[in-house]
Chains A and B, each alone.
Chain A
Amino acid sequence: MTGLLRTSIEAQFSDIWLEGELSNLRAPGSGHVYCTLKDKTSQIRAVLFRSTAVRLRFALQEGLHVVVRGRLTVYEPRGEYQIVLDTVEPKGIGALQLTFEQLKERLATEGLFDQDRKKSIPAFPRTVGVVTSLTGAAIRDILAVLRRRWPTLHILIAPVQVQGEHAGRQIAEALTALNNLGSVDVIIVGRGGGSLEDLWSFNEEIVVRAIAASHVPVVSAVGHEIDVTLADFVADLRAPTPSAAAEAVVPVLAEIVERLQELKVRLGQVMLRHCAFERQRLDAGIRGVTDVRFRLQDAAQRTDDRVDRLHEMVQQLLMAGRERVHGVQRDLSGLNPILAIKQGLATVPQFSKRLEGQMGVMLAQHRHRIHATLAQLNTLSPLAILGRGYSILQTVPAGQILHRANDVRVGQELEAQLASGRLSCTVTQVFDDSSV
Chain B
Amino acid sequence: MAAVKFEQAMARLEAIVGELEKSDLPLDESLRIFEEGIRLSKNCLKILEEAEHKVEVLVQDKNGKKRIHAYSPDDAADEPSS
Which residues of A are in contact with B by a Cβ distance under 8 Å? Answer: 122-127, 129, 133-135, 140, 143, 147, 150-161, 166, 170, 173-174, 177-178, 181, 183, 185, 253, 256-257, 259-260, 263-264, 266-267, 270-271, 273-275, 277-278
Contact = CB atoms under 8 A, between A and B. Distances in A.
B57 A260 contact: no
Contacts of B37: 263-264, 267
B79 A157 contact: no
B57 A126 contact: no
Interface of B: 1-4, 6-7, 10, 13-14, 16-17, 20-21, 23, 27, 30-31, 34, 37-38, 41, 44-45, 48-49, 51-60, 66, 68, 71, 73, 75-76, 78-80, 82
B13 A263 contact: yes
Given A178-B58, A277-B23, A160 B79 contact: yes
Contacts of A134: 57, 75-76, 78-79
* For the complex of A and B, 6 pairs with smallest distance between CB atoms: A152-B51, A154-B52, A152-B53, A270-B20, A159-B79, A155-B55
B41 A154 contact: no
A253 B38 contact: no
Contact of A185 (B3, B20, B23, B58): B3
A127 B68 CA distance: 14
Contacts of B78: 134, 159
A183 B54 CA distance: 14
Contacts of A274: 20, 23, 27, 30
A381 to B, nearest CB: 132
Contacts of B34: 267, 271
Given A126-B1, A181-B58, A185-B1, A152 B52 contact: yes
A259 B40 CA distance: 13
B3 A155 contact: no
B51 A153 contact: yes
Contacts of B56: 154-157
Nearest to A146: B55
A177 B56 CA distance: 14
Contacts of A152: 48-49, 51-53
A326 B56 CA distance: 123
Nearest to B79: A159
Nearest to A173: B60
Nearest to B66: A177
B23 A135 contact: no
A124 B3 contact: yes
Contacts of B1: 126, 183, 185
Contacts of B45: 257, 260
B76 to A, nearest CB: 5
B80 to A, nearest CB: 6
A266 B79 contact: no
Contact of A177 (B4, B53, B60, B71): B60
Given A159-B79, A267-B34, A253 B48 contact: yes
Given A124-B6, A156-B68, A267 B38 contact: yes
Contacts of B27: 274-275, 278
A166 B17 contact: no
A151 to B, nearest CB: 7
A409 B39 CA distance: 148
